[in-house]
Chains A and B, each alone.
Chain A
């Protein structure tokens, strides 16, 4: 985001918080100084007015921890408490019903529903007892199902681990956003992404484009990867998910074992890699993930 965009965003926030339309026509301040001044004003007006404003600015790191601390007691926010952040993304604009539904779903006044923009929401949920990873996943699935059945709005959800202190919230929030980005890149058909379970995706997401290109050129180039049909791709993925077991993959995909072998042979002819061999399977897995990454870019 360049200076003008950042300035406009902050002015919008300031206008929203104060009800007054501000503009900057003449200033001796540098760009950075202007933005900092605007941030201070936004913080001042927002923080004073609402708990959600405090959370919003703190999560986006526009409000320093030391500044936020002074407002915690005013909004009855415990500094130390077990909290879970859920980051929600809707493919289109979400409805008002979706927000009311989430608010009614979280009757505890300590829980927060933050409307970031027309497509993104954040839930901050307080727990008294540490939930298991299964509990968190189950809760996340229930929220999404509820939003679909009651508010007819489809969302994706991402999260990272629960945090014990208010101070840790921005990192948990950033991890949840990263989980959404990585999930959308490597598993775009997924619905729920957990930062801790991103596996190889988390590693590959940080590989520079030049390295990706070099890797694919050395192993399976983009032209060849583009030729693989969807049926074969889903079969290869099923083969990976079933730990390279022919029998289990054939059983789960309901195809004849000989047909599976025939298709894997065909794949090996095309790519030069036999996924029945562990080392070659790793190369294929990484190549396919990198190929998805390139496509997503």
Chain B
């Protein structure tokens, strides 16, 4: 398979729009890399530059150490899968998978061997004689993947391949793609706007915004140690809560909406060292780090806030409580056995060990 290096890659369109700015990334052989970010962040453009479908304005793309900038897309040894299954409606599953190879004049017996092997991997053996209209959305997407697999490429590029599927199928296909990555041992680059897909599939995730890489890290690190407010807000569902507050002179506590929340020593140290004493910062706290149980409220009395619940949502295994605090809507993810209900005024304990602090102006992380 393949190592991929992107060095100072830029994409600038003739109208001046700078879609991708100074993108740098080393992808190791067999890695599963995810490009994630909101619509228009440059993730698909970057993927398309790797594929050769978009010209690289500046910078270098290397696959296995070989410069690829001017290599024709068909000679880059890559395969792509898109959200539109792009199947030939008049051809059977077998012919759909074989078509690309026929176009490249691969011998018939070799085509047959490759198609049947891919069908076995994807559990499509019994469907080889069917036409696309007789397949479910998930099966069609598997055929599209099969078409990529038969090429035996160095790199798989996938651009939102699950977007056309319903929620249940997406979860199922996520698992299948993950298994496929393990069984093929291929280098895969996967574009999605869905952070859940990114977190569950990737060995590393590249978070992008406005054409700029925000952070490249493992799913766990992105969640626990976001480098800025954007990454903190983007990764995690429900989103991290953000509250504006003013730090004490010695950074031992933060005042938010009249409540004083004590800050653990390690975070105090980081805030003090960066001279944030007395300054206004943004406090980030994930929904699961806000607790309503009495035991938490009692043991963490130095970080308690009181608020009136506006909405109670039971999801089965957990409950979301929504309330307004300091002019912001806050979400708490609590135990389903909670007795709190909409309209109740409840005390919440914030687990300040898990709190994040961000600079109000630069939005960069001060302490995680």
What residues of chain A have their CB less than 8 Å away from a CB belonging to chain B?
91, 95, 97, 100-101, 104-105, 107, 138, 141-142, 145-146, 148-154, 188-189, 230-231, 234, 238, 252-259, 292, 295-296
Contacts and interface: CB of A to CB of B under 8 A. Distances in A.
B118 to A, nearest CB: 15
B250 to A, nearest CB: 26
Contacts of A100: 103
Contacts of A95: 74
B287 to A, nearest CB: 15
A-B CB proximity, top 3 nearest: A152-B73, A145-B86, A146-B86
A93 B120 CA distance: 38
Given A292-B15, A296-B15, A104 B99 contact: yes
28 contacts: A91-B55, A95-B74, A97-B74, A97-B103, A100-B103, A104-B88, A107-B90, A142-B86, A142-B87, A146-B86, A148-B80, A149-B81, A149-B144, A149-B147, A152-B51, A153-B73, A154-B48, A154-B54, A188-B13, A188-B14, A188-B17, A252-B39, A255-B229, A255-B233, A256-B229, A256-B242, A257-B328, A259-B229
Contacts of A154: 48, 53-54
Nearest to A106: B90
Interface in B1-57: 13-19, 38-40, 48, 51-55
Interface of B: 13-19, 38-40, 48, 51-55, 72-74, 79-88, 90, 99-100, 103, 144, 147-148, 209-211, 229-230, 233-234, 239, 242, 244, 282, 328, 363
Given A189-B13, A189-B19, 19 more contacts: A97-B103, A101-B103, A142-B86, A145-B83, A149-B80, A149-B82, A150-B147, A152-B72, A152-B73, A154-B53, A188-B13, A230-B17, A230-B18, A234-B40, A252-B38, A252-B39, A254-B239, A256-B363, A296-B15
A254 B103 contact: no
A295 B90 contact: no
Contacts of B83: 145
B221 to A, nearest CB: 18
Q: B82, B83, B242: which has the most chain A beta carbons within 10 Å?
A: B82
A230 B210 contact: yes
A148 B84 contact: no
Chain A interface mostly: helix
Contact of B244 (A148, A152, A258): A258
A234 B210 contact: yes
Contact of A149 (B17, B148, B211, B229): B148
Nearest to B148: A149
B233 A141 contact: no
A154 B80 CA distance: 13
Contacts of B72: 152
Contacts of A253: 38
B211 A230 contact: yes
Contact of A256 (B81, B147, B282): B282
A254 B53 contact: no
